[in-house]
């Protein structure tokens, strides 16, 4: 297994460093001696076992081929530290073992026993509605992967997915092992980094997160610099790894039963975008009974949608976000889902250009045009100058004083177009 430092992992990687539980001190391989036992493993048998296992043969087939019990084959595989990404269907005995042991033993150990990946074990467990009451202790194999990943600069999110542990759990375990990530700058302490990831996991924005850290006595950081550092180390990062059959089964089951999609995001390291894409590939898009199941924030009400339709493109997005108690990105994404187009993006039509010329000639204000077009005043002003009409031109005709505007009828696009433009033409100062 090879990978480049500070790069994303290959999608089919199963471990960062080999780990053999029975390995002798000094990192020297044990001698291939034959014990005086009737069931001792011969070197040739071990080679055949290794070859068949890596070729994704089932444990039953390997046991039948070698004339041994399935339990003996599983035990030998564990002793050799072999791991693989099996693509075979789950058998009844595998489900029974998973039900019996899940939650009591680390998922990495179960993956080795069953010849599966950790992701496959978690996905299958959720499909069987199994719960993990408490996090089992970290194993030697898991510690070996964390050590190797930190040394090579592998994003922490990818290490977490590889060994089947929560992101924050890997950060905490690395701190307990006194490990320093290759992407961690020298002026950051392990305590500061751990706390930053904890606060990020609570959903704080990077600017707020920087203020909270400074308030707790850590060095003052900028929100932008803090975000770049956390993302470089792997916070909230995915890398386009292929979907496995167990994940597809879990996603299909979630859509069929209306179950939560959170396990796919938290345990299996899938983003909401990745889940939506895969649902589309499997023909599941739009069939979930809870269409807002991907969203971590509150659902959008009809009142919220009405405010967004009314103000989008006319009121600054930050103000809309503050009014609705949401983030700016959430507002932009939902507006896109509703098919709304912002005034900064929507092109001007011929009727709008004619209306601008007429308004300039007849002394109609820019604020009236903004109300007619449903655009921001600054957007209309820039476009008007572009086509030759500067509304601040001293030679432009003036409207009646404001005191006389109270009783006038509202300006409409049809009303503007019904007027004839002044023969004076366009004037740009």
pLDDT at residue 25 is higher than 70: no
**Which residues are CB-contacts of 331 (< 8 A; sequence separation ≥ 6)?**
308, 312, 317, 320, 321, 324
For 30, the 3-state DSSP assignment is coil
User: Exposure pattern of 369-406 as b/e (b: 16+ CB <10 Å)?
Assistant: bbebbebbbebbbebbeeeebbbeeeebeeeeeeeeee
Give tens-digit pLDDT for 342-365. 766 678 888 889 999 988 888 888
Q: Are 116 and 173 in contact (CB under 8 A)?
A: no
Separation CA 210–CA 222 (nearest Å): 6
For 105, the 3-state DSSP assignment is strand
What are the φ and ψ backbone dihedral angles of 395, each rounded to 5 degrees?
A: -80, -5
Residue spans of the domains in the chain: they are 152-232, 302-337, 350-418
Q: Supply the mean pLDDT for the chain.
A: 80
pLDDT for the residue 294: 56
Separation CA 165–CA 406 (nearest Å): 66
pLDDT for the residue 28: 53
pLDDT-derived band at 48, boundaries 50, 70, 90: very high
Using alpha carbons only, give the angle 277, 282, 288 rounded to the nearest 5 degrees. 80
**Which residues are CB-contacts of 174 (< 8 A; sequence separation ≥ 6)?**
146, 150, 156, 181, 190
Angle between helix axes 118-127 and 245-257 (nearest 10 degrees) is 20
pLDDT for the residue 2: 44
Between 331 and 407, the higher pLDDT residue: 331
pLDDT at residue 34 is higher than 60: no
Q: Are 254 and 261 in contact (CB under 8 A)?
A: yes
What are the φ and ψ backbone dihedral angles of 312, each rounded to 5 degrees?
A: -65, 125
Separation CA 13–CA 26 (nearest Å): 27
Please count the residues of the chain. 429
What the block records as the tokens of 100 is: 């019996």
Q: Are 313 and 375 in contact (CB under 8 A)?
A: yes
pLDDT for the residue 4: 47
Q: Are 232 and 225 in contact (CB under 8 A)?
A: no
Separation CA 390–CA 383 (nearest Å): 9
Contacts 24+ apart (CB under 8 A), 279-284: 279/251, 279/255, 282/248, 282/251, 282/252, 284/251, 284/252, 284/255
pLDDT-derived band at 268, boundaries 50, 70, 90: confident
Give tens-digit pLDDT for 73-123. 888 888 888 888 888 889 898 999 999 988 888 888 888 888 888 888 888
Between the alpha carbon of residue 338 and those of residues 10, 51, 111, 299, 371, the distances in Å are 37, 55, 44, 14, 21
What the block records as the tokens of 422 is: 């002044």
Between the alpha carbon of residue 172 and those of residues 109, 166, 190, the distances in Å are 20, 10, 9
- Cα–Cα nearest to 170, from 197, 200, 152: 197
Q: Are 110 and 74 in contact (CB under 8 A)?
A: no
Q: Which of 49-53, 171-175, 258-262, 366-370 has the lowest mean pLDDT?
A: 258-262
Separation CA 355–CA 371 (nearest Å): 13
Between the alpha carbon of residue 121 and those of residues 54, 128, 236, 423, the distances in Å are 18, 11, 22, 78
What the block records as the tokens of 93 is: 């005995």
What the block records as the tokens of 283 is: 């023909």
- Cα–Cα nearest to 360, from 341, 322, 324, 388: 388
């Amino acid at each position: 297994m090879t990978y480049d430092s500070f790069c994303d992992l290959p999608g089919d990687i199963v471990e960062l460093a080999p780990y053999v539980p029975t390995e002798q001190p000094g990192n020297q391989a044990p001698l291939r001696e034959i014990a005086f036992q009737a069931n001792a493993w011969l070197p040739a048998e071990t080679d055949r076992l290794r070859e068949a296992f890596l070729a994704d043969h089932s444990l039953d087939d390997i046991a039948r081929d070698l004339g041994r019990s399935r339990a003996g084959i599983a035990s030998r595989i564990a002793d050799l530290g072999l791991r693989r990404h099996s693509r075979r269907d789950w058998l009844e005995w595998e489900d029974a073992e998973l039900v019996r042991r899940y939650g009591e033993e680390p998922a990495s150990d179960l993956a080795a026993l069953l010849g599966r990946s950790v992701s496959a074990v978690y996905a299958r467990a959720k499909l069987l509605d199994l719960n993990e009451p408490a996090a089992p202790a970290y194993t030697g194999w898991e510690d070996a992967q964390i050590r190797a990943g930190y040394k090579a600069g592998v994003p922490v999110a990818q290490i977490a997915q590889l060994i089947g542990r929560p992101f924050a759990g890997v950060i905490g375990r690395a701190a307990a092992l006194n490990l320093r990530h290759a992407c961690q700058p020298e002026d950051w302490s392990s305590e500061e980094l751990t706390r930053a990831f904890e606060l990020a996991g609570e959903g704080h924005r990077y600017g707020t997160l920087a203020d909270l850290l400074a308030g707790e006595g850590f060095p003052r950081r900028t929100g932008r610099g803090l975000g770049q550092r956390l993302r470089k180390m792997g916070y909230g990062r995915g890398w386009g790894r292929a979907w496995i059959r167990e994940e597809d089964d879990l996603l299909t089951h979630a859509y069929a039963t209306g179950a939560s999609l959170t396990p796919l995001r938290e345990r299996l390291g899938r983003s909401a975008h990745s889940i939506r894409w895969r649902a589309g590939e499997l023909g599941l898009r739009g069939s979930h009974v809870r269409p807002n199941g991907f969203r971590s924030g509150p659902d959008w009400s009809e009142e919220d949608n009405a405010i967004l339709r009314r103000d989008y493109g006319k009121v600054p997005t930050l103000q809309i976000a503050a009014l609705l108690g949401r983030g700016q990105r959430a507002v932009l994404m939902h507006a896109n889902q509703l098919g709304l187009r912002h005034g900064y993006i929507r092109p001007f039509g011929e009727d709008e250009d004619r209306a601008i010329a007429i308004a300039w000639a007849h002394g109609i204000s820019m604020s009236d045009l903004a109300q007619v077009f449903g655009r921001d005043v600054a957007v209309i002003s820039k476009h008007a100058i572009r086509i030759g009409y500067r509304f601040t031109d001293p030679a432009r005709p003036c409207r009646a004083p404001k005191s006389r505007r109270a009783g006038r009828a509202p300006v409409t696009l049809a009303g503007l177009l019904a007027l004839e433009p002044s023969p004076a033409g366009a004037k740009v100062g």
